[in-house]
Structure 1
Amino acid sequence: MSIKTKRIPRVLCIQSHVVHGFVGNKCATFILQLYGFEVDVINSVHFSNHTGYNVVKGSILSVDELRAIFQGLMANEIFEYDYILTGYMGSGELLHVVAEYVRLIKSKSPHVKYLCDPVIGDNEKLYVDQSCVEMYKNTILPLADIVTPNDFELEQLIGKQIQFNHDGNEEQIIWQSLQSLNNMGPSHVILSSISAAKLGGKKNMLQMYASSKTSNNQYETFRIDFPYLEGCFTGTGDLFSALILAWFHKENNLIMFQRRILCGIQPSNVPHVGNYLGAIKKWIDLQNNGDNLIVMLADLHAVTIPREPDTLRKSTLETAASLIACGIDPKRSIIYRQSDLHHHTQLSWLLGTLTTVQKVGHIPTYKSKVKDETSVPLGLFLYPILQSADILLFKTTHLPIGEDQIPHLQLCTYMIEKFYHYYKQNIFPVPEMMATETMRIRSLRHPEQKMSKSDYEERSRIDIMDDEKIIQDRVMKALTDFNAQVSYDREQRPGVSNLIDIYSGMTNQSIENIVAEAQQHNLNTAAFKKRLAEIIIEHFRPKRLEYLKLMNDRTYLLSILDKGRERATEIADKTLNEVKHIMGFN
Structure 2
Amino acid sequence: MTKPRLYSGMQPSADSLHAGNYVGALVQWRKMQEEYDAFFSVVDLHAISVPQDPAELRQKTRRTAAQYIAAGIEPERSTLYVQSHVPAHTQLSWVLNTITGFGEASRMTQFKDKSSRYGSDGTNVGLFTYPILMAADILLYQTQVVPVGDDQRQHVELTRNLAERFNSRFGEVFTIPEAKIPADSARIYDLQNPESKMSKSGDSPQGILWLLDEPKVLQKKIMRAITDNDGVVAFDRDAKPGVSNLMALYGAVTGSTMQQITDEFAGHGYGDFKKAVAGAVVAEFEPVRERALELLDDPAELDRLLAVNAERANEVANETLATVYEKVGFLASAR
Say whether residues 1:262 and 2:7 are aligned partners. Answer: yes
Query: 2:64 corresponds to which residue?
Result: 319
How far apart in 1 are the matches of 2:246 and 2:50? 33
CA contact (8 A) 2:111 2:127 kept: yes
- How far 1:426 sits from its partner (Å)? 1.2
What pairs with 1:560-575 in structure 2 (closer than 5 Å)?
560-575=305-320
How far apart in 1 are the matches of 2:157 and 2:67? 31
Query: 2:287 corresponds to which residue?
Result: 542
Paired residue for 1:481, among 228, 231, 235? 228
Say whether residues 1:347 and 2:92 are aligned partners. Answer: yes
Paired residue for 1:331, among 76, 95, 107? 76
Structure 1: 4+ residue segments shifted above 3 A? none
The amino acid of 2:305's aligned partner reads I
How far apart in 2 are the matches of 1:450 and 1:326? 21
Normalized per residue, the structure richer in helix is: 2
The amino acid of 1:467's aligned partner reads E
How far apart in 1 are the matches of 2:175 and 2:141? 10
How far apart in 2 are the matches of 1:565 and 1:555? 15
Percent pairwise identity: 38
Paired residue for 1:506, among 229, 253, 257? 253
The amino acid of 2:271's aligned partner reads A
- How far 1:509 sits from its partner (Å)? 1.2
How far apart in 1 are the matches of 2:8 and 2:155? 14
For residues 220-266 of structure 1, what are the alpha-carbon distances to aligned partners after superposition, in whole Å with 9 as ceiling and x for unaligned?
A: xx3x4xxxxxxxxxxxxxxxxxxxxxxxxxxxxxxxxxx11101100
Question: Taking structure 2 as the reference length, what is the TM-score of the superposition?
Answer: 0.95
**Greater RCO, 1 or 2 (C-alpha within 8 Å, sep 6+):** 2
How far apart in 2 are the matches of 1:402 and 1:394? 20
Query: 1:306 corresponds to which residue?
Result: 51
CA contact (8 A) 2:24 2:149 kept: no
Distance of aligned partners of 1:292 and 1:441 in 2 relative to their CA distance in 1, 3 Å threshold: same
Query: 1:18 corresponds to which residue?
Result: none
Normalized per residue, the structure richer in strand is: 1
- How far 1:380 sits from its partner (Å)? 0.7
Q: What SS does the aligned partner of 2:237 have?
A: coil
Query: 1:428 corresponds to which residue?
Result: 174
Query: 1:205 corresponds to which residue?
Result: none
Query: 2:138 corresponds to which residue?
Result: 391
How far apart in 2 are the matches of 1:344 and 1:574? 12
Q: What SS does the aligned partner of 2:120 have?
A: coil
How far apart in 2 are the matches of 1:544 and 1:446? 25
How far apart in 1 are the matches of 2:98 and 2:274? 54
Query: 2:208 corresponds to which residue?
Result: 461
How far apart in 1 are the matches of 2:232 and 2:169? 63
CA contact (8 A) 2:100 2:162 kept: yes
Q: What SS does the aligned partner of 2:307 have?
A: helix
- How far 1:497 sits from its partner (Å)? 0.7
Query: 1:279 corresponds to which residue?
Result: 25
Aligned residues: 327
CA contact (8 A) 2:164 2:176 kept: no
- How far 1:575 sits from its partner (Å)? 0.4
Q: Which moved more, 1:391-400 or 1:477-486?
A: 477-486
What pairs with 1:169-318 in structure 2 (closer than 5 Å)?
208=1, 222=2, 224=3, 259-268=4-13, 269-287=15-33, 289-318=34-63
How far apart in 2 are the matches of 1:435 and 1:468? 31
Query: 2:199 corresponds to which residue?
Result: 452
Q: CA RMSD in A?
A: 1.2
- How far 1:283 sits from its partner (Å)? 0.5
How far apart in 2 are the matches of 1:580 and 1:463? 43
How far apart in 2 are the matches of 1:365 and 1:328? 28
How far apart in 2 are the matches of 1:409 and 1:544? 32
Say whether residues 1:557 and 2:302 are aligned partners. Answer: yes
How far apart in 1 are the matches of 2:108 and 2:20? 25
How far apart in 2 are the matches of 1:488 and 1:327? 30
The amino acid of 1:346's aligned partner reads Q
Paired residue for 2:217, among 445, 466, 470? 470
How far apart in 2 are the matches of 1:271 and 1:452? 9
- How far 1:275 sits from its partner (Å)? 0.8
Say whether residues 1:371 and 2:88 are aligned partners. Answer: no
The amino acid of 1:317's aligned partner reads R
How far apart in 1 are the matches of 2:275 and 2:39? 37
Gaps in structure 2 of 5+ consecutive residues: none
- How far 1:364 sits from its partner (Å)? 1.5
- How far 1:430 sits from its partner (Å)? 0.9
Query: 1:137 corresponds to which residue?
Result: none
How far apart in 2 are the matches of 1:271 and 1:439? 16
For residues 372-430 of structure 1, what are the alpha-carbon distances to aligned partners after superposition, in whole Å with 9 as ceiling and x for unaligned?
A: 4132311111111111111111111101112222221221122112212221x112111
Q: What SS does the aligned partner of 1:331 have?
A: coil
Question: Taking structure 1 as the reference length, what is the TM-score of the superposition?
Answer: 0.55
How far apart in 1 are the matches of 2:22 and 2:288? 12
Q: What SS does the aligned partner of 2:80 have?
A: strand
For residues 310-369 of structure 1, what are the alpha-carbon distances to aligned partners after superposition, in whole Å with 9 as ceiling and x for unaligned?
A: 110111111111110110000000111111111011100111111121111111111111
For residues 413-468 of structure 1, what are the alpha-carbon distances to aligned partners after superposition, in whole Å with 9 as ceiling and x for unaligned?
A: 22112212221x11211100114124211100111111111013111011112101
How far apart in 2 are the matches of 1:271 and 1:449? 17
Query: 1:403 corresponds to which residue?
Result: 150
- How far 1:303 sits from its partner (Å)? 0.5
How far apart in 2 are the matches of 1:278 and 1:435? 10
Gaps in structure 1 of 5+ consecutive residues: 1-207, 209-221, 225-258
CA contact (8 A) 2:150 2:181 kept: no
Q: What SS does the aligned partner of 1:329 have?
A: coil
Query: 1:216 corresponds to which residue?
Result: none
Query: 1:492 corresponds to which residue?
Result: 239
How far apart in 2 are the matches of 1:330 and 1:421? 36
Query: 1:228 corresponds to which residue?
Result: none
How far apart in 2 are the matches of 1:468 and 1:295? 28
For residues 521-555 of structure 1, what are the alpha-carbon distances to aligned partners after superposition, in whole Å with 9 as ceiling and x for unaligned?
A: x3211101001111111112222221111011111
CA contact (8 A) 2:167 2:174 kept: no
CA contact (8 A) 2:89 2:133 kept: yes
